[in-house]
């Protein structure tokens, strides 16, 4: 990445690096219910200032000790806790967060940013579970901003008139397979494509350039 592109990325979101995150969980309570899958997609930028997905990191997660897992959540996601392959590869919460956070920190540094900002579809849900897991695991260096996030459900409602992930993707011209949905990896990758499409469309319409020009005039 050239220094000019690195500077462009650092400027685009006020030195925050957007990282798309999705979690599949055992319910809706972040303090009580288990994280079952976690995935993250780091983003990068081309020399023309177009945002695009970079790398995907995805892991099965073992429920923490005493965690609740609702059967309705398993039915919805299709996750089978007793699957032999899952049991072999699933990581503890602390291990999974470590595997996600290490490349996120590297991406923050390589793009000249100071912190990651979570991007999610209904981001408050994922952010709440992520923060609860960070607290449970006693992690001191969380690379994500503790409360700021970008929600693609809201953004796609503005850009495409759709808030459901599958419908928003299709409105944006992004293929979406309902049979693959509700795995953390698949949903994160589609959400990343959707976020990039919205940001790039705004740029192509002159939005970010206009904002920069207006800010420049205010600074005179």
How far is Cα 144 from Cα 128, in angstroms, rounded to an integer? 12
Structure tokens at 120: 């999610």
How far is Cα 164 from Cα 190, in angstroms, rounded to an integer? 12
Q: Is 187 annotated as a binding residue?
A: yes
Active-site option among 121, 127, 179, 182? 182
**Dihedral in degrees, nearest 10, Cα atoms 8, 144, 43, 41:** 180
Q: Is 182 annotated as a binding residue?
A: yes
Alpha-helical regions (H) of 84-183: 84-89, 93-110, 123-137, 152-160, 165-171
Is residue 182 flagged as an active site residue?
A: yes
How far is Cα 158 from Cα 152, in angstroms, rounded to an integer? 9
Please state the residue numbers annotated as binding site.
Answer: 22, 24, 182, 187
Q: What residues form the annotated binding site for Mg(2+)?
A: 22, 24, 182, 187
Query: Which residues belong to the active site?
Result: 182
């Amino acid at each position: 990445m050239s220094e000019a592109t690195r500077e462009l990325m650092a400027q685009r979101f006020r030195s925050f690096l957007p990282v798309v995150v999705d979690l599949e969980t055992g319910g809706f309570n972040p303090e009580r219910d288990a994280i079952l899958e976690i995935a993250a997609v780091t983003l990068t930028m081309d020399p023309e200032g177009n945002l695009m997905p970079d790398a995907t990191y995805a892991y099965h997660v073992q429920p923490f000790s005493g965690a609740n897992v609702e059967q309705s959540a398993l039915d919805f996601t299709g996750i089978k806790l007793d699957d032999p392959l899952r049991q072999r590869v699933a990581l503890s919460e602390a291990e999974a967060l470590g595997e996600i956070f290490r490349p996120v920190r590297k991406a923050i540094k390589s793009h000249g940013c100071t912190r990651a900002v979570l991007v999610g579809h209904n981001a408050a849900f994922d952010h709440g579970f992520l923060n609860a897991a960070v607290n449970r695991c006693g992690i001191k260096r969380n690379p994500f901003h503790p409360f700021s996030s970008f929600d693609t459900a809201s953004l796609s409602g503005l850009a495409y008139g759709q808030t459901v992930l599958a419908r928003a993707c299709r409105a944006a011209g992004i293929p979406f397979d309902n049979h693959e949905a509700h795995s953390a990896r698949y949903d994160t990758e589609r959400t990343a494509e959707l976020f990039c499409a919205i940001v790039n469309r705004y740029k192509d319409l002159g939005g970010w350039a206009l904002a920069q020009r207006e800010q420049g005039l205010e600074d005179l």
